[in-house]
Amino acid sequence: MIQRTVAEQQRALYWHRRRLHEREVPRHLLRETDQLMFWLEECLVQRLKIVPGWLMPRLLVLLGQAHPELPRELGHERRPAQVMAFLYRAQEALMEQSVKARKPAKIIRLFR
């Protein structure tokens, strides 16, 4: 039981210690959605009826960064399949943001 608590605390600290500037870039957020999707798939494989408490705060923060309406629409829903649907919507929004955030490449002159 103590080992499980320690593991949960380590996971929580991992998310907490991530640098802020990484969270703001849509590409980094897309990578994070992949990690969160893995954990949601594990919930389905293990036939958990609700998403674990340590995962929900991070999901809500990511959903809020992807689109401000998503956390409100999610509400108190904690079934893994429904939460995955919201995560897919967040990925869609983040992909659009990623494309819009791209700037033209810097031109490097070969000859002067």
Of 77, 78, 15, give the one whose Cα is nearest residue 52: 78
Q: Domain extents for the chain? A: 25-99
Sign of the Cα torsion 58, 64, 67, 72 reads: positive
Q: What is the pLDDT of residue 23?
A: 52
Q: What is the pLDDT of residue 24?
A: 66
Per-residue pLDDT of the chain (112 residues; tens, 9 = 90+): 888 888 888 888 877 776 544 556 777 888 889 999 999 999 999 999 999 988 898 899 889 888 889 989 988 889 999 999 999 999 999 888 888 877 777 777 887 6
Q: What is the pLDDT of residue 109?
A: 83
Please state the pTM of the whole predicted model.
0.69
Q: What is the pLDDT of residue 19?
A: 54
Of 21, 54, 55, give the one whose Cα is nearest residue 38: 55
Write out the two tokens for 60: 């809500």
Q: What is the pLDDT of residue 9?
A: 85
* Cβ–Cβ < 8 Å for 63, 73: no
Residue 75 falls in which region: left (phi positive, over 0), alpha (psi -120 to 50) or beta: left
Q: What is the pLDDT of residue 20?
A: 47
